[in-house]
Structure 1
Amino acid sequence: MYFIGELKGSSPDLKISLYKWNSKFFVKFETPDLEQVYKISEMDVSEDEIREMVNEEFIEKIITRFKEMYQDLGELMGDY
């Protein structure tokens, strides 16, 4: 997998990275404990288009999903 770079919107709490592998772009969102990865065919979008797509509105949705994931994990861990 080839690391292209970190995307705008990264912070100490949320790292946003762009990779390329096997004719796909991988947009990876990471917190200290969880990650979300979106795979997009390079036939559908360019690197510049991906950088535009990862905007504040999309990042807010990612953060909301992370909160849900942390809640799910907390509930799961509480069962043990």
Structure 2
Amino acid sequence: MRFVQDIPNPQFRIGLYAWNSKYIVKIEAGPYEQTYKVSEMDLIDPAAVPSLLDQEFLTKVSQRFQDMDADWQATGDRNNAF
């Protein structure tokens, strides 16, 4: 996987990568990660990726991270793991 660029964001660590004819957007928050893959054929210029990460999209990403954390905590509670 080849690193292309960091995408500045105050809330998340966002990186853009290239691998197997795909661009990979990796969004990290604490111990959690979301990954989005886009075919290079569907995206003319990787410089356009930051504009795709608009506020509506990032709000849903944030909610998904909260859901991931709640799911992880719930499984830990059910299984007396934490």
TM-score, with length taken from structure 1:
0.88
Larger gyration radius, structure 1 or structure 2: 2
Aligned pairs (5 A) from 1:1-20: 1-8=1-8, 10-11=9-10, 13-20=11-18
* Identity %, equivalent residues: 35
**Aligned residue in 2 for 1:65:** 64
**Aligned residue in 2 for 1:51:** 50
Give the C-alpha shift of residue 48 in structure 1.
2.4
Aligned pairs (5 A) from 1:21-40: 21-40=19-38
- Equivalent AA in structure 1 for residue 25 of structure 2: V
Q: CA RMSD in A?
A: 1.2
Structure 2 runs not aligned, ≥5 long: none
Structure-2 separation of matches of 1:61 and 1:29: 12
Give the C-alpha shift of residue 49 in structure 1.
2.4
Structure of greater relative contact order (alpha carbons < 8 Å, 6+ residues apart): 1
Structure-2 separation of matches of 1:43 and 1:65: 27
Partner deviation per Cα, 1:6-57 (whole Å, 9 max, x = no partner)? 113x23x521111111110000010121100000001001212222101121
Q: What stretches of structure 1 move > 3 A for 4+ residues in a row? A: none
Aligned residues: 78
Structure-1 separation of matches of 2:60 and 2:69: 14
Which stretch of structure 1 is more off in the superposition, 48-57 or 58-67?
48-57
